[in-house]
Amino acid sequence: MRIEPAYVSAFANAIRECGYDPARFGLKREAIVDEDELFDLFVRVLAVVDDPTLALRLGMALHIGTHGVLGHALMSCRTLRQAAEILVRHNPLRSRRGSVSLALTPEQAILTFTPPFHVPGAPWFLPEVFLAAGTAVIRQLSGSDISACSLEFAHAAHMDERNYQAILGLPVFFGCAQNRFIGPRPAVDFPLPTANDTVAEMYLRQCDKLLREMNAVSGCASDVRHALLSSRGRFPSAKEVASSLNMSERTLRRRLDEETTSFMQIVDDVRNHLARQYLSETKLTIAEVGELLGFDDVANFRRAFKRWNGYPPRSMREADLPDVPDVGAAKAAD
């Protein structure tokens, strides 16, 4: 299990909110830690930080923007079911000893968490972190009231139960058989709405990061990239992008032509950049990556990826390959 710097940074912020200096525990903002190091860190922090809300604070701080490429994948999902299935397979706390599972009954959708380890003296810590984080992400993805959902913890409450309600905003039950997030079954297949203002701000920050990595230049092409990366579930058409930029589709195409590019070339550039990120930085399957990028058939995605880069997508996971320029550099045939 590999914990990314954003999670360590969120933990540092939660410690600071509890009134302690995270530097006291040797936390570094750019640190990447493994499972054993994370266990040691939790033990050291919990031996000092005397605040029972720490786990919930950390979980609620793990919003979509902290999850990097995984967060981008979650924001691209069409439904909560698709997002939950990706989280089950690729969640950051998954290991040989821990797991996340999704079960659907006629009435309920149930996300169950088995922690990879227990912190001595604090068996509640990881379950509270994970289910608080899940609550934050589900609330952000759905952009709506999730009061019909509830949380179940296997441990007993270790503080006033009103604190849980105040922080999580959901009914919470203790001493249950498992650690679970429970919601109404029909909700998992509802199309996800446009992000609310808070999520949109985080998403745009992620888009800006991706644009910087793509070495995007200013001008109409950059505006189109912003529009494409700000979409959710599918890429908008040229007509829709032109409308969002307050111009006609004809004007958009003319301006892109003046910049020696085209709408479809930019779509391919963005798809290729995201594909390479998903394949190199997550464990999403090739089929999942293709689906997130709008390909109905994995074979079509494989052909497109090979056309963009000169090698098939599986090669990114089978061998170390040289960097490929971001802006349509590879024009190899199928």
The pLDDT of residue 323 is 46
CA distances in angstroms from 121 to 42, 115, 126, 155, 241, listed in the order given: 11, 15, 12, 12, 54
Map residue 155 onto helix, strand or coil: coil
**Is position 18 within any domain?**
yes
Q: What is the CATH number of the domain that holds 308?
A: 1.10.10.60
Name the residue among 210, 207, 250, 213 with its Cα closest to residue 227.
Answer: 207
The reply to whether 164 and 93 lie within a common domain is yes
The pLDDT of residue 87 is 80
The pLDDT of residue 183 is 95
The reply to whether 234 and 106 lie within a common domain is no
The reply to whether 182 and 314 lie within a common domain is no
**Is position 201 within any domain?**
no
CA distances in angstroms from 105 to 20, 87, 178, 186, listed in the order given: 44, 19, 17, 10
- pLDDT tens-place string over residues 199-230: 555 555 666 666 676 655 568 888 888 788 76
CA distances in angstroms from 294 to 236, 274, 287, 288, 302, listed in the order given: 11, 12, 11, 10, 13
The reply to whether 102 and 166 lie within a common domain is yes
**Is position 259 within any domain?**
yes
The reply to whether 185 and 236 lie within a common domain is no
Number of independent structural domains in the chain: 2
The pLDDT of residue 88 is 80
- CA dist., res. 308 & res. 327, Å (int): 9
**Is position 308 within any domain?**
yes
The ranges of the chain with pLDDT < 50 are 194-196, 320-334
The reply to whether 218 and 180 lie within a common domain is no
The reply to whether 151 and 24 lie within a common domain is yes
The reply to whether 173 and 228 lie within a common domain is no
The reply to whether 79 and 28 lie within a common domain is yes
Chain centre distance of CA 206 = 10
The pLDDT of residue 106 is 94
**Is position 272 within any domain?**
yes
**Is position 205 within any domain?**
no
**Is position 329 within any domain?**
no
The reply to whether 127 and 247 lie within a common domain is no
The pLDDT of residue 85 is 84
> Alpha helices, DSSP H only, in the chain?
5-17, 35-46, 54-61, 68-75, 80-90, 125-142, 161-168, 197-213, 220-229, 238-244, 249-258, 263-281, 286-292, 298-309, 315-318
- pLDDT tens-place string over residues 98-137: 788 999 999 999 999 999 888 898 999 999 999 999 999 8
The reply to whether 13 and 134 lie within a common domain is yes
Domain that residue 275 falls in: 214-318
Prediction pTM value: 0.68
Name the residue among 58, 120, 122 with its Cα closest to residue 92.
Answer: 58
The reply to whether 167 and 260 lie within a common domain is no
Task: For residue 148, give both structure tokens.
Answer: 């019909």
Q: What region, left, alpha or beta, does residue 62 occupy, with left being phi > 0 and alpha being psi -120 to 50 degrees? A: beta
Q: What is the CATH number of the domain that holds 15?
A: 3.90.1520
